[in-house]
A and B are shown apart, each in its own frame.
Chain A
Amino acid sequence: NAGVTQTPKFQVLKTGQSMTLQCAQDMNHNSMYWYRQDPGMGLRLIYYSASEGTTDKGEVPNGYNVSRLNKREFSLRLESAAPSQTSVYFCASSPQYGYTFGSGTRLTVV
Chain B
Amino acid sequence: AQSVTQLGSHVSVSEGALVLLRCNYSSSVPPYLFWYVQYPNQGLQLLLKYTSAATLVKGINGFEAEFKKSETSFHLTKPSAHMSDAAEYFCAVSRMNRDDKIIFGKGTRLHILP
Judge whether A104 and B104 touch: CB under 8 Å. no
Interface 9-mer from B39-47, B62-70, B73-81? B39-47
A110 within 8 A of B: no
Number of interface residues of A (CB under 8 A): 25
Which residue in A41, A45, A101 is a CB contact (below 8 Å) of B45?
A101
Whether A97 touches B51, Cβ cut-off 8 Å, given contacts A42-B106, A42-B107, is: yes
Judge whether B106 and A96 touch: CB under 8 Å. no
Number of interface residues of B (CB under 8 A): 22
Which residue in B32, B43, B44, B90 is a CB contact (below 8 Å) of A97?
B32
Judge whether A98 and B49 touch: CB under 8 Å. yes
CB-defined interface of A4-37 with B at 8 Å, one 1/0 digit per residue?
1000000000000000000000000001010100
The distance from the CB of B52 to the nearest CB of chain A, in whole angstroms, is 10
Which residue in A42, A44, A94, A101 is a CB contact (below 8 Å) of B100?
A94
Task: Find chain A residues with CB under 8 A from B51 CB.
Answer: 97
Which residue in B42, B46, B100, B105 is a CB contact (below 8 Å) of A31?
B100
Judge whether B43 and A58 touch: CB under 8 Å. no
- Chain A interface mostly helix, strand, loop or mixed? strand
Task: Find chain B residues with CB under 8 A from A48 CB.
Answer: 101
Whether A97 touches B101, Cβ cut-off 8 Å, given contacts A41-B106, A43-B90, is: no
B71 within 8 A of A: no
A53 within 8 A of B: no
Judge whether B43 and A102 touch: CB under 8 Å. yes
Interface residues of B (CB under 8 A from A): 9, 32, 34, 42-46, 49, 51, 90, 94, 98-107
Nearest 4 CB-CB pairings of A with B: A101-B43, A42-B106, A43-B104, A42-B104
